Structures are given as structure tokens and as C-alpha cells.
Amino acid sequence: MNKVAKQLSLLALGTLMGAISLHAQQKPEVIKKKGYELTFESNYAALDPALKQRLISTFFEVYPKLAQAYNPKTLKKVSFLVDTAYKGVAATSNGQVVYSSIWMDKHPEDIDVVTHEVMHIVQDYGNSVGPGWLTEGIADYARFKFGIDNAGAKWALPELKPEHHYKNSYRITARFFHWIEQHVKAGVIKTVDASLRDHSYTPEIWKKLTGKDLDGLWADYVKNPKI
């Protein structure tokens, strides 16, 4: 192929890829319901319409409940993006949740990834004074409580193992929080969540609320972890 022909070929390929990309980027859809607004976008042309609808329906089912339970002042407008370039599972920032098209393709049953991620919007901790494991533990605790099909995703709180610690985050921490609510005092996690949001959180809050610090609570949990 001569130089001119090669340049023309590359130009044509670039034009074609641009057209494909433009076609794949669906026009944003705005849905309003129950006093909330969701903007849904996707650059994944093969996104299953049924999965798209489940993502939308899950938002409108769980977000108002999370808002009522934890933060009525949470954002009224949220956006979802299913992104072919994102390689994680999902991530949330500034009211937008980005979902990996790869993950959604392989795990269409994991619809309560929505519940976990929008809980991060409700949390609204900003420059939190609390540790990351606490933020993620509360988000998975919310998924456990408010998820609409955790069983369908084979998602459950794990049984306690010797190597577990409350700082492990996510489901391990969420199970510990559920145990506290059941066996120590109901409403503790909601109070801790609020303290993170207004930046009054300190580790001493656990002893103030329950009579024991986190290490003491964990020691009791290990002795009798049944939930």
C-alpha cells in the first residue's frame, strides 16, 4: 500500500470508528418519578434493554427508601452511565454512578450494585472524618437491608471466619453492623452514618452509643456471631 493510499485508509477507518462511537453513545434519557430524577446514559450499544430497565427500576425503588431512612436532604437528581471504558464494577462521584458494561454483561443478576452505589450518594460524607472501611461497610449494610434481589445475585453476608476483622470493609463489616443492630442496640448504624455526614464522627461514638468501643464489640461478636 502506497503512502497516500495508507493515509486515506487510516482516515476512512477513523471516520468509521467515530461514527460507531457516536452511534453507541445513546441519547441521555431522563426519567422523573417519586420526586426524583434519573438521567440514564450508555456508550454500550449492546446493553440489554431489560437490564437497562432493571437498573432504572431499582433506582426508583431503593433510592427514596434510602433517602427516607438516612438522609432526606440527599440529591434529587442522579445520573447513571454504563461505560465500556470503565474496568471496575461501579463507582460513584458527584451524584453520578458509572457502571462497567463488562461487569453488567457478565453479572446481569447483580442488580443491587445499584443499591450499594446510590447509598454512597445518600451518605454524602464529603471529606469524611471516618475511615474508608466504615463508609463501605455502611453501604453494604444498606444493600443487605434494602436490596431487592441479593439472593438472585448470590450475594449474602459471609459467615464469620478467624481471619475476619471489622476493618475488612464491605460485607464482612456489614455483617458485624447487622449483629450490633440485632444484639446490642438498634439504630446505632443510622446514628454513626449521620455523624459521618455532619463530620462529628470520632471512634468514641461507639462507646457512647453501646457502652463498648469497636474492639470490645468485635470481641463480643466473635464469641457469639449468630445473626
Q: Hey, is 39 helix, strand or coil?
A: strand
Q: Are 168 and 161 in contact (CB under 8 A)?
A: no
Residue 184 in any domain: the answer is yes
**Could you say which of 96, 124, 152 is where a domain stops?**
124
94 plus 48 within the same structural domain: yes
Residues 112 and 134 in one domain: no
CA dist 163 and 136 (Å) reads 19
Same-domain pairing of 100 and 136? no
Q: To the nearest 5 percent, what fractions of the chain are helix, strand and coil?
A: 50, 10, 35
Residue 7 falls inside a structural domain:
no
Nearest to 58 by CA among 88, 80, 26, 27: 80
For residues 62 and 115, membership in a common domain is answered with: yes
* 225 found inside a domain: yes
Q: Based on the structure, what is the number of domains in the chain?
A: 2
Check whether residue 92 and residue 138 sit in a common domain. Answer: no
Report yes or no on 158 lying in a domain: yes
Residue 133 makes CB contacts below 8 A (sequence gap 6+) with 166, 167, 168, 169, 173
Answer yes or no: do 50 and 67 share one domain.
Answer: yes
Q: What is the pairing mode between strands 90-93 and 96-100?
A: antiparallel
Query: Which residue among 124, 159, 183 closes a domain?
Result: 124
Residues 88 and 103 occupy one common structural domain: yes
pLDDT digits (tens, 9 = 90+) for 22-32: 344 568 999 99
Confidence check: pLDDT of 13 > 90: no
Judge if 68 and 140 occupy the same domain.
no
pLDDT in tens, 148-202: 999 999 999 999 999 999 999 999 999 999 999 999 999 999 999 999 999 999 9
The distance between the two most distant Cα atoms of the chain, rounded to a whole number of Å, is 80
- The domain boundary, picked from 93, 124, 155, lies at 124
| DSSP classification of residue 33 | E
Whether 101 and 133 share a structural domain: no
| Same-domain pairing of 62 and 107 | yes
pTM above 0.85, yes or no: yes
In a domain, 1, yes or no: no
Per the structure, the complete domain to which residue 212 belongs is given by: 129-227
Q: What is the pLDDT of residues 35-50, one digit of tens each?
A: 999 999 999 999 999 9
